[in-house]
Every structure is written in C-alpha cells, then in structure tokens.
Amino acid sequence: MLNLYRQLISNNLNNTIFEELSEEWLERLSPEIRSELINGFFNAGILTVNMSDFNKNDFYDKVLKHKFPLYCENLYMHLAPIIQRCLRRMFLGFNDNLHEYKVVLFMEGREEDQLEAVKYTIPVF
C-alpha cells in the first residue's frame, strides 16, 4: 500500500513540477528525463534532485557543476513554492492533527563528481 501512495505522490508532484517549472530549467533537462525529476522517500519527508539531469547540451558538465551551490540555490528558489503548494494540496485535510510538515530536499551531483549535496528544508504547513 505504501508503494501505491509513493507512486501517487511522486506522479502528482513530478507532473506539477513539469507543468510549473520555468522554461529556463525545463530546457536544460536531458531528453531522457521527462517523467521523474524528483525522487523521494515521502513517508520520511526526503526528496532528492540529481542536478546531472540538467545536462542537455552538456549544461551540467560545462557550467552547472562548476558553480554547483549557485545553481542549486537558483533551482531551489523555483522548486520550493511548487513543492509547498503541491504537497499542501495533497496532505491538507488528510490528518487533522498534522499542523506542521517539512520536507528535506537534497540536490546532488553525479557520484564521480564528488560534489557535496546541498540540503534545503521546505516547510509545507
């Protein structure tokens, strides 16, 4: 049952992101990335974005990984309000006792690049 919820949350969140994320970021996505930008352990409130997914025209390799924290911050500024709205809509009313919900968003690079993951906490309620 938990996998079903995970898939529903992931589909809803990723579909919303693909609809609302700026063209600037969508145009940088590698062609094979069209269904899942954010992965997550939703029951633990952990989301991850692999920044190497933004490698169309070698953007990740040539630009992004050299200014990794700056681009993580820039993407976070676009993603945070989308994640907040989407998760709030999904979870609002789900549990009357739930007054606060936070997710942790990790932005990471390729493992071989040895970039330290950047961590953000996003309050949902």
pLDDT value of position 90: 82
User: 51: which DSSP letter?
Assistant: G
Domain boundaries, the chain: 2-123
pTM flag (> 0.85): yes
Cβ partners under 8 Å of residue 16, min gap 6: 82, 85, 86
User: 97: which DSSP letter?
Assistant: T
Contact 49, 71 (CB under 8 A): no
By C-alpha distance, which of 65, 56, 63, 47 is closest to 25? 56
pLDDT value of position 78: 97
pLDDT digits (tens, 9 = 90+) for 20-43: 999 999 999 999 987 899 998 877
Q: How confident is the model at residue 100 (pLDDT cuts 50, 70, 90)?
A: confident
pLDDT value of position 3: 59
User: How far apart, in whole angstroms, are the C-alpha atoms of residue 7 and residue 100?
Assistant: 23
pLDDT digits (tens, 9 = 90+) for 7-20: 888 999 999 999 99
